[in-house]
Every structure is written in structure tokens, then in C-alpha cells.
Amino acid sequence: MPLRLIFMGTPDFAVPTLLELAAHGHEIAAVYTRAPKPAGRGMKLQPTPVEREARRLGLPVLTPSTLKTPDAEAQFRAHNADAAVVVAYGMILPKNILDAVPLGCFNLHASLLPRWRGAAPINRAIMAGDAESGVMVMKMDVGLDTGDVAMAERLPIDNAMTAQDLHDALAPLGADLMVRAIGALERGRLQLTPQDAQGITYAAKIDKAEARIDWTKPAREVLRHCHGLSPFPGAWFEIALDGVPTRIKVLRCELATGSGAPGTVLDDRLTIACGEGAIRVLELQRAGKQPMQAVDFLRGTPLKPPARAL
């Protein structure tokens, strides 16, 4: 028998899992997501991606500001769900909520736990130079991503992969993994394994203060830093354009040959020297402008040695 589920999620990353669970016949009793926030020029309230999809599917949507009150717990229990599925919900689930469904709450996490517990696992895996990432289904407990793991899928990370690329690859992979995990749970065959006590790391929330590029680092570290922060918040440098210091975000780059003082523009193709080696900028975004290919940028704004990126 398909399970009766509560789904809890907020961003684009969570949408494929919601759609797959519904497509596989599970009954979605309620969808919990964060409340709409003002956005855009008119600052109109914008529903989350999960809310938009849930309403399109005709599912009931709840946006509580807290789950810690007796009323919130009573409402959660009243759905009479078998289990809850949590994907990037953005709110801590207290113990009384975790205990409110008989089969438990299952989280889809975008890392190979116990590496990169916490808020920004996709970004941190790339920024740290990890060779692989993945998704895991975990039965939640009161700790931060500390629960027993049910299933996992792995995915290699190469130097061309940005945080957006990895996000877009892991979202459908995770949706398929969660559907398989819930199917095993339905059959009473889901096996749980405690996380390894070794290799625990924490993926701290991205701080805009860490976005400035440090050209004294080796080229591969600069590349991974840029790709780990692409497209948001975007790793950036400043360079003088017509004598005016201008901020430029590097959205995509590649390793390149060449050397020089860190930050030196080495040619007319936007190759920039690092502490060791160099990178070539492939896609960028000027402050207040749309993202664009570097070749298009250079047609209107030629940059040549001895220009300097700061």
C-alpha cells in the first residue's frame, strides 16, 4: 500500500522529490514550506518553488513560522501520516514533531554524510576540492544531520562543475533515491546504518564576506572557489574599467597555462595569473548586469596586459 506522507521542503532542489513521490502514488497529506517572501521590483510576496508545485498538484500547503508550539504539533499529528519526507525545508524539526509520525521523518541530504553536515553541502564540497559528492536518505533525529543513513548515491565532481551544475544533477538523483527509500519503507525492508564517527565536517552557511577571490591561491583552488559560489553569491574581483573600479563575478572558468604576479591579466582572453598557474574566465557578471560569456564581454570591453584583477 502506498504511504500517507507529509512533505516538507522549500527550494527548487526539493521539487523533483515532491513530484516523484506523487507520481509513484503516495498520498501527500500536506506540504509544509516556508512562508512567501517579498521579491522582485514590486516586492510582491513570492511563494516558494515547493508551494507553487504543491498548489499546481492541488495539495494542501502549510507555512507555519514555528513547529515548536503545541498547536503546531497537534496540527502535524492531525494529518495522520505514516511518515514525513524532508528536503531542504529550512527549519529545525523538534523532537515532538520527529516523533509525531509512526514510521519517522526521512531527510534527503546533498552530501556523503558525515561529510558536509549542515546548510551548504553542495557549495562546500566544490570549494574544498572534493572528488565526489552525492545524496543520502537519512532517518532524522534531533542532531544536525546525524541520523542513521538508509541509502546513498554518489556523483563525481570535476573541475568544470559549478554549484548550480551539481545542484541540478543531485536534485533528480535524490528524488529517485527517496522514492526507492520510501518504497523500501512501505515494504518494511528499509535498512538503516549509523553514520561513521570519523570524517565529520560541517558545511557552514555561505557568507558573502568569503566571496572575494584571492589570486595568491593556486589556480585549482581559485577555480573551485569560483565554481563553488556560482551562481550565488558569486566569487568576485575588482578591475579598473575606463579608470573606474568595477566588480566582476566569475561564474565559470577553466585552468589555463601562464604565470605572473597574482591577479595579472596575461592575455586578451581574460587569462588571470594565480599564486600557481592561471585560470581563464569563461562566464562572468558585471555588477548590476546580466551574466554573459567572457568572449562577448571582451568584445565591448577589451582587457589586455598589464591590467590587474584585485
Taking only the tens place, the pLDDT of each residue in 157-174 is 999 999 999 999 999 999
Write the Ramachandran bin of 25: left for phi over 0, alpha for psi from -120 to 50, otherwise beta: left
* Structure confidence at residue 217 as a pLDDT band (50, 70, 90): very high
pLDDT of the residue at 40 = 77
15-23 and 163-186 helices, crossing angle to 10°: 30
Give me the sign of the Cα torsion angle 79, 82, 87, 89.
Answer: positive
241-280 tens-digit pLDDT = 888 999 999 999 999 999 999 999 999 999 999 999 999 9
- Report in angstroms the alpha-carbon separations of 154 from 106, 129, 166, 258, 267: 19, 16, 11, 34, 38
Domain architecture of the chain: domains with CATH: 4-202 (3.40.50.170), 208-300 (3.10.25.10)
- Give 110-126 pLDDT, tens digit per residue: 999 999 999 999 999 99
- Per-residue pLDDT reduced to its tens digit, 60-82: 999 999 999 999 999 999 999 99
At 149 the pLDDT is: 98
Distance, in Å, from the CA atom of 111 to the CA atom of 94, rounded to the nearest integer, reads 22
pLDDT score of 243: 85
**Predicted local confidence at residue 119, as pLDDT:** 93
Q: What pLDDT score was predicted for residue 38? A: 86
pLDDT of 42: 80
| Per-residue pLDDT at 299 | 93
Angle at Cα 125 formed by Cα 185 and Cα 128, nearest 5°? 155
- The predicted pLDDT at position 263 comes to 97
**Residue 39: predicted pLDDT:** 80
- Whether 137 has a pLDDT exceeding 90, the answer reads yes
Q: Among candidates 124, 102, 103, 121, which has minimal Cα distance to 113?
A: 121
Q: Are 203 and 115 in contact (CB under 8 A)?
A: no
What is the distance between the alpha carbons of residues 210 and 128, in angstroms, rounded to a whole number?
A: 13
Evaluate whether 3 touches 159 at the Cβ level (below 8 Å): no
